[in-house]
Amino acid sequence: METIKVVKTASYVPAKVVTNDDLSQIMDTSDEWISSRTGIKQRHVSVNENTSQLCFNVAKLLLEKSGWDAASIDLLIVATMSPDSYTPATAALVQGKIGAHNAIAFDVSAACSGFIYGLNVAEKFMGSSNTACKRVMLIGGEVLSKVIDWSDRTTAVLFGDGAAGMLLEQQDDSESRFIASSLHTYGELGDKLEAGKTEALTAFPMTGEHQIKAFSMSGRDVYKFATHKVPLSIEEAVAKAGVTLDQVDYFVLHQANSRIVTQIAKRLEQPLAKFPMNIAEYGNTSAASVPLLLDELITNKTLKRGQVIVLSGFGGGLTVGTQIIKY
């Protein structure tokens, strides 16, 4: 039976590190306040590198690690809420730069669930005889620093920049596979988390400048959404998969806030030790956070082949998504 295998993972974060103490120099906040409420100690901030550049760096690493020829890739997806531009898609920019000229490329916009939505899209393309994609590159990448309102201390402290991704391949003999998923979208709550919002012209010919709004979030609403909907999404996916929560080795959750992760663990009645976290180092990197953590777990050999993992994202849309994989 043909199954989908996660062949390689890779990540790249910009060099500049901004600590909580650094932020307390430019806004009214403190390391104690940020770390006790979010678990964040520092974040990486991109200077001069846009989203496609971070993703390109990940793509290069993936090709180096795997030895794959870029021309062998059939599909290249970038999950992002902070693309370089409306068009071309960030995925197209990466495809052009690495010379993956046989790949179709497009972005998935589902914010912090973007990587999980991307996995789902990849699975559909790989499973369809119509498209017959054998090899897929999926990257989550964000430069959130360019859309953040740096005068809003309630959101500015939460986010970071970075990118990470994986290569997927359809294989005949692999025990690795995608087991089940659960995706949900709650568009009626869309205004709880917005970034890059544009306005239609108020008159024609237009007067003034085009306006693009910075990031804004109703933190409490999103917190509540996450602690309620993520456990439901995980339970739904686990039920579809025919496994129990106890059989899951690791829950790799979107790193938005360590206290959200702790609450989700509590609601699922699973030990917190099964919920690895790296938010202290990177902050919330939206679509990049799940693959960034996954790559870390694979690199430090925490995650081993054959183990069952739950990947779960939640955020703007509002969206929530869970994918269960046998790694």
- Give the binding-site size for another protein (rule: CB under 8 A): 9
d(CA 182, CA 79): 17
Residue whose CB is less far from another protein, 174 or 218: 218
Out of 259, 274, 278, 307, point to the residue binding another protein (CB under 8 A). 259
d(CA 37, CA 20): 12
Is 263 a binding residue for another protein by CB under 8 A? The answer is yes
Residue whose CB is less far from another protein, 11 or 227: 227
Minimum distance from residue 260 beta carbon to another protein (Å): 10
Q: Tell me which residues are annotated as active site.
A: 112, 254, 284
Residue whose CB is less far from another protein, 227 or 286: 227
Q: Which residues contact 186 (CB under 8 A, 6 or more apart)?
A: 225, 229, 317, 318, 319, 320
Residue whose CB is less far from another protein, 134 or 224: 224
Give whole-number Cα distances, 128 to 15, 178, 285, 304, in Å: 40, 15, 31, 29
Out of 27, 30, 36, 71, point to the residue binding another protein (CB under 8 A). 36
Query: What character string, x for contact with another protein (CB under 8 A) and - otherwise, covers 213-232?
Result: -------x--xx--xx----
Minimum distance from residue 228 beta carbon to another protein (Å): 8
Minimum distance from residue 314 beta carbon to another protein (Å): 16
Is 154 a binding residue for another protein by CB under 8 A? The answer is no
Q: Which residues bind another protein (CB under 8 A)?
A: 36-37, 220, 223-224, 227-228, 259, 263
